[in-house]
């Protein structure tokens, strides 16, 4: 029994050695200096900065063990934690924070930056940021570095911090730029899904503007207010909502022509300020038409399958009434009365669906009327009924030609 316990302790010790993260092991200053010297690296801030940017956690840890300042200000005013946040190095961010990096320090980069540069989906480049200064959380969020965002929040960053005079939150930034993983981390860490900026714009509105259906769905699942309204907008604001009062998420998705988001919100019975919005009406019409076409495709697939089953009856004699209808169809077709001819052919086919020549002639008549989809379908039925007919090659060539006309 004692031998077994000793064995288990030994295994646990081995696992502990390999599983402990690098950041938990520190060298004394002398040993760290010697290790850097062995690697041919001088203890300078510029070299330190370079390895932070590269994402080399081992070297960064050695520099910190020599006493390098984790809040060093580099030539452009950036700090190591800022570089880690911008470049998405979550392990380095964690090491820096464990060694005293200041999570509240701000960059001056955001000050005076045009809003359009922050959000790809905003067209205005004129409006400037006031009271800016990027936090490390802002830097990581605005670039979609979800793991860095998680590390920063777990080390004291506020998931609902406000950026600049417009009072944007990290969740607004991530939602507007389409970073689903970052959105999920922020919400998991307590970010307010109904936070409002200065203009009362919510994360859901940003997601709708950016066109991310997945983020729209996720935020709604987490309790986002689908019918929240933005402030009254006078003139053309940076949102591009010119003279539209109190727009909702649905209005914003329509304005930016994000069809999938529009249809999803309409199905959810979302409120909208402009019920007559032409883009929403167009999106609904297109979906209805698409549904009709899908239904027609299914019907035609069933009919084609039926034609294949009827191929064994292709030589079955027809009735006098069918013969009469086919003669009438040919007669009016010669006079270019194609609509009437199509009607006669369809009546004949309804009574004798195995009549291959009727399908062939109907296809030619449909094509003469520029009904190329119907022509293709009827010619395919002809081929399904009599695949070895002397006109089979001609029929296939006709199909190829009509398909080209549809493109």
Return the ∠ at Cα 92 (arms to 90 and 96), rounded to 5°.
120
For the chain, list residues with pLDDT below 50: 1, 12-13, 15-24, 111-112, 114-117, 120-127, 131, 234-243
Which domains, from first to last, does the chain contain?
303-406 (1.25.40.10)
Maximum pairwise Cα distance, the chain: 109
Written as six digits, the tokens of 397 are 């060539």
Separation of alpha carbons 323 and 332, rounded Å: 15
Q: 51: which 2 tokens?
A: 């390895």
CA quadruple 195, 198, 200, 202: dihedral positive or negative?
Answer: negative
Query: From CA 261, how far away is CA 77, in angstroms rounded?
Result: 41
- Quick: pLDDT tens for 260-288: 998 889 888 888 766 667 778 787 777 77
| Cα(362)–Cα(242) distance, integer angstroms | 53
Which tens digits make up the pLDDT trace of 73-125?
Answer: 987 788 999 999 999 999 999 999 999 999 998 887 654 454 444 554 444 44
Indicate yes or no: pTM above 0.75. no
* Per-residue DSSP letter, 231: P
CB-CB contact of 66 with 32 (8 Å): yes
For 53-74, how does the pLDDT look when each residue is reduced to its tens digit (9 = 90+)? 999 999 999 989 989 999 999 8
Instruction: Tell me what pLDDT residue 114 has.
Output: 43
Q: b/e for 85-98, b at 16 or more Cβ within 10 A?
A: bbbbbbbbbbbbbb
Distance between CA atoms of residues 244 and 3, nearest Å: 79
């Amino acid at each position: 029994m004692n031998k077994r316990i000793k064995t288990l302790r030994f295994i646990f010790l081995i696992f502990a050695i390999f599983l402990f993260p690098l950041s938990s092991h520190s060298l004394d200053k002398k040993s760290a200096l010697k290790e850097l010297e062995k690697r041919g690296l001088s203890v300078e801030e510029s070299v330190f900065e370079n390895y932070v940017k590269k994402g080399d956690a081992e070297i960064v840890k050695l520099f910190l063990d020599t006493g390098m300042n984790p809040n060093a200000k580099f030539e452009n005013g950036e700090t190591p934690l800022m570089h880690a946040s911008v470049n998405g190095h979550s392990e380095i961010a964690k090491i820096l924070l464990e060694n005293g990096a200041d999570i509240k320090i701000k960059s001056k980069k955001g000050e005076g930056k045009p809003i359009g540069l922050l959000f790809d989906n905003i067209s205005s480049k004129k409006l400037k940021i006031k009271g800016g200064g990027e936090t490390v959380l802002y830097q990581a969020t605005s670039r979609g570095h979800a793991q860095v965002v998680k590390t920063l929040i777990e080390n004291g960053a506020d998931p609902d911090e406000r950026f600049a005079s417009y009072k944007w939150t990290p969740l607004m930034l991530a939602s507007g730029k389409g970073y689903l993983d970052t959105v999920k981390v922020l919400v998991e860490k307590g970010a307010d899904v109904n936070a409002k900026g200065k203009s009362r714009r919510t994360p859901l509105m940003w997601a709708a503007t950016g066109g991310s259906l997945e983020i729209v769905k996720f935020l709604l699942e987490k309790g986002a207010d689908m019918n929240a309204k933005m402030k009254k907008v006078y003139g053309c604001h940076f949102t591009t909502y010119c003279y539209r009062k109190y727009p909702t998420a649905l209005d914003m998705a329509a304005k930016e022509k994000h069809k999938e988001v529009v249809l999803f919100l309409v199905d959810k019975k979302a409120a909208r300020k402009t019920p007559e919005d032409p883009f929403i009406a167009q999106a609904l019409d297109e979906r209805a038409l698409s549904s009709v076409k899908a239904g027609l495709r299914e019907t035609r697939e069933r009919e084609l399958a039926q034609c294949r089953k009827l191929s064994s009856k292709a030589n079955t004699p027809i009735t006098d009434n069918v013969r009469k209808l086919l003669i009438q169809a040919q007669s009016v077709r010669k006079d270019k009365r194609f609509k009437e001819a199509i009607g006669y052919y369809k009546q004949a086919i309804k009574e004798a669906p195995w009549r291959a020549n009727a399908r062939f002639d109907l296809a030619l008549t449909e094509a003469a009327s520029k009904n190329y989809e119907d022509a293709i379908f009827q010619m395919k039925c002809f081929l399904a009924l009599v695949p070895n007919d002397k006109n089979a090659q001609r029929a296939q060539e006709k199909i190829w030609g009509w398909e080209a006309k549809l493109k």
